[in-house]
Chains A and B, each alone.
Chain A
Amino acid sequence: MIDALVLTILMTSVPLILAATGELVVERSGVLNLGLEGMMLMGAVSAFALTYISGSLLVGLLAGIISGCLTAAIFGFFVLGLATNQVATGLALTIFGTGLSGLIGSDFVGKAIEGLPTLFPETFSNLPIIGVFFALDAVAYLSLFIVFLVWIFLFKSKYGLILRACGISHNSAHSLGYKVLTVRWCSILFGGMMAGLGGAYLPLMLTPHWSEGMTSGRGWIALALVVFASWMPSRIIYGAILFGAITIMQLAGQARGWTIPPQFLSSLPYIATIFVLVLISSKGTAKYLAPSDLTRPFISSK
């Protein structure tokens, strides 16, 4: 029973980890993409549709990644190409993604597919206590590995340093000869791929069917998670598990007739994020943590 609960919590946190890690890279480069929810939904519907048609989960996952990337490209075209307001464009992207995914997915509502298999044989997952950690699928383990890779990239490689530099001061980065827009394009597309993959995880694993708006706010939770993690990759994992636990508690609570209103539980991730924000700003270090050129459009004069 406990095992089942822990397993569900871990699985719920996977899409959060993926989407938030992508968004973290985007924000580190100085762009805020509020279209996470839209990109996740596009990833989810494409993954489900192509898995259903082709019968291959791998094709489905790839479709999720690609459609997340394409949706992000629309965002990139506006905020980088035309230097539009990032907040407004991101919100528009969410609305766009929600609508388009509903349209594409209308034929697939009520259909079922086979979900992702677990990575390890059943003998491992039947082990007492630790078994639950072997009961996950390949994408779940991949998500942890990606967090690790992103950490290495951001803090141990030259390109990661350049990316962070673009987020701190794009004018300085430009003066040193770095192509701010190229860096931001790459990070936006990466963010889209991660969101697409995170979205794909929902219909392929969490609930093996498609329903309209099935992310139900996970994109927003992932956005909050980036702030909660104060832009540090490793903290995303703890945060995602915490937020995942809250989400599951809300469902489990409803099933068992708890008296805590579910609306209160679903607001907990946001309350936790506000709490973290207050905590880091009361220490006076908030300004150091957030990339200082976040949301500022860069216009180069050549």
Chain B
Amino acid sequence: MTTKPVLLESREISKSFGSFLANDGINFNILEGEIHGLLGENGAGKSTFVKMVYGLLEPSNGTFYWNGKKIIIARPQEARNFGIGMVFQHFTLFPTLTVIENIQLALNDYFATHELRDTINKKSAEFGITVDPDIYIRDLSVGEQQRVEILRCLLQNPKLLIMDEPTSVLTPQESEQLFSVLKKLSKTGCSILFISHKLKEIKKITQRATILRRGCVVSTVETADVSTEQLAKMMVGSNPQNVKPKTAKKSGDILVRISGLNRPADNPFATALDNISLNVKAGEIKGIAGIAGNGQSELMEVLSGEWRSTENIDVFNVLGTDIRNYSPHKRRQLGVGFLPEERHGHSAVINMKLTENTLLTNHNNPVIQRNNIVKNENLEKLTTNIVDKYDVRTPFQNPHASSLSGGNLQKFVVGREIIKKPKVFFVAQPTWGVDIGATKSIRNSLIDLANDGCGIIVISQDLEELFELADNICVLFRGKLSDSKPLQELNSEKIGMLMGGEDLYSESQGH
């Protein structure tokens, strides 16, 4: 394998943003036809590095070599001229343009529409990626959108394809399809740089992997020679802390009872919720799996009370009280905690200080406020408590929420809710974009809460998370919620099928 020639090499590549060193002397090479993994936690500098390879960022220092020759990649157009294609983590598609227009935008040479249509059909047949060239991107699922991104790169006959966290938006089955496309592509001689923080994937499809930590290369390994545990250790720098066991007795008291929940879609991008029923017992963590865009945000709005209706919901009881008409504020007074997915602007106001953000969900606490006058001293004390207890790292005392990193802000907003000891807690994507260490501590605090008898609903796209946390899991697909199944009866393959819309039970009846 090492006899293959080197396609791209980087020597001492560094990138700094102000005083922050995002990449520090990266030495790296990728061989022709190789699938090479780039592994690291959030913020390890993976995206920064590949953005330099694709000409989106300019290195502060160091050089790239392409087939042994020194090159400067100043713009993405130049990268594409070399034969470098990139599939971004956050897609660079234009929802209100058609597939064909989106592809035209990424090609350096302009093709007439009808010519391009033929080329697209040919390429998509060759790699088994089917997509209708004349459909609008907004009408495609996330998996299909990714196929458009890939197709767009393939049309340029790339020599190097960069894939930034491609599986984070896919079902397990869709990931398998992606892997087979990538393998097919690498057989044609194309090199693939595969970025991920999922160890199993790296093990599964790459030949070699380079591990980054805090902007530095830790090591480059032959993936067949190392275990996932060794990879994890290199990535995190220490053995990650394990998640605590759940000890709560399932008392059988049903804390949350929802049935006959129908919510019509209120805009063309929304998903209608279709006859959802759901019960949560004391001490239970109910996991709701599903790919984003299948009704998660709509469901979360119903749970938090941002969307209310007595006509479209038959039953919504919490602790025996009918809360169908309760505002978020009244729900909080009842002992309900909730945390929407988007921390910037939804669960936290980023231009406000941490104390002010604390006040926003704690203002009915008599310790914080009496006769509508805020007691600043107690508010500061509570904020400091949250910061200390949930290990929120702040650059200085009481900063604005915007100056916290994503992971730290998430720890803060989770802590802010949990410290109130809610009796019922609804949370969406509790560890989205959070590094491994913080993820474990957030999950542990959710388990502590359940052990104290709180009923919890966790909406998450991260199956690993649900397997660690949940007692029972159901899947949201196109606004329908599958029956709740105990964790022991499920594996990722079964959930994956439900996430892709296959009903396990009607399927088995058919046979």
Contact = CB atoms under 8 A, between A and B. Distances in A.
Contacts of B92: 169, 171-173, 175-176
A165 B268 contact: no
A288 B138 contact: yes
Interface stretch (A100-108, A156-164, A212-220): A156-164
B242 to A, nearest CB: 38
Q: Which of B17, B55, B79, B93 has the most CB of A within 10 A?
A: B93
Contact of B105 (A162, A171, A287, A288): A162
Nearest to A293: B94
A171 B89 CA distance: 13
Interface residues of A, number: 22
A168 interface: yes
B91 A164 contact: no
Contacts of A285: 268
A164 to B, nearest CB: 7
A287 B97 contact: no
Contacts of A175: 56, 76, 88, 92
B380 interface: no
Interface string A146-162: 00000000000010011
Interface in A170-192: 171-178
B398 interface: no
A287 B269 contact: yes
A121 interface: no
A302 B57 contact: yes
A165 B58 contact: no
B56 A287 contact: no
Given A172-B93, A177-B75, A302-B58, A165 B267 contact: no
B77 interface: yes
B39 interface: no
Contacts of B90: 171
A169 B92 CA distance: 8
Interface of B is mostly: loop
B267 A287 contact: yes
Given A158-B110, A287-B267, A168 B94 contact: yes
B114 to A, nearest CB: 13
A287 B92 CA distance: 19
A287 B270 CA distance: 12
A158 B268 CA distance: 28
A144 to B, nearest CB: 26
A211 interface: no
A284 interface: yes
Nearest to B136: A288
B95 interface: yes
Contacts of A302: 57-58
Interface in B36-94: 55-58, 75-77, 79-80, 88, 90-94
Given A161-B105, A175-B88, A177-B75, A287 B268 contact: yes
Contacts of A172: 91-94
Contacts, number: 61
B96 A161 contact: no
A287 B90 CA distance: 21
A164 B104 CA distance: 13
A234 interface: no
B101 interface: yes
A158 B107 CA distance: 10
B91 A161 contact: no
A26 to B, nearest CB: 18
Interface residues of B, number: 28
Contacts of B288: none
Residue of B77, B96, B138, B267 with highest tally of chain A CB at under 10 A: B96
B97 A168 contact: yes
Interface string B238-271: 0000000000000000000000000000011100
Contacts of B106: 176
A89 to B, nearest CB: 21
Contacts of B269: 287
Interface in B95-134: 95-97, 101, 104-106, 110
Contact of A292 (B57, B77, B93, B95): B95
B104 A158 contact: yes
Interface string B138-170: 100000000000000000000000000000000
Contacts of B77: 177
Nearest to A157: B110
Contacts of A164: 94, 97
A59 B101 CA distance: 41
B94 A169 contact: yes
A292 B96 CA distance: 9
A165 B97 contact: yes
B169 to A, nearest CB: 16
A30 B266 CA distance: 25
Interface string A278-295: 000000110110001000
A287 B136 CA distance: 14
Given A168-B95, A176-B92, A292-B96, A161 B268 contact: no
A178 B268 CA distance: 29
Contacts of A288: 96, 138, 268
Given A288-B96, A292-B96, A161 B267 contact: no
Contacts of B76: 175-177
Nearest to B51: A175
A165 B138 contact: no
Contacts of B104: 158, 161
Nearest to B90: A171
Contacts of A287: 267-269
A135 to B, nearest CB: 40
Contacts of B17: 301
A35 to B, nearest CB: 26
13 contacts: A161-B101, A173-B92, A173-B105, A175-B56, A175-B76, A175-B92, A177-B55, A177-B77, A284-B267, A287-B267, A287-B269, A292-B96, A301-B17
- Top 8 A-B residue pairs of the complex, sorted by shortest distance between their CB atoms: A177-B76, A172-B92, A175-B92, A168-B94, A158-B110, A284-B268, A177-B77, A177-B75
Given A164-B97, A172-B92, A175-B92, 15 more contacts: A158-B110, A161-B101, A164-B94, A165-B105, A171-B90, A171-B92, A173-B92, A173-B105, A174-B56, A175-B76, A176-B76, A177-B55, A177-B75, A287-B267, A301-B57
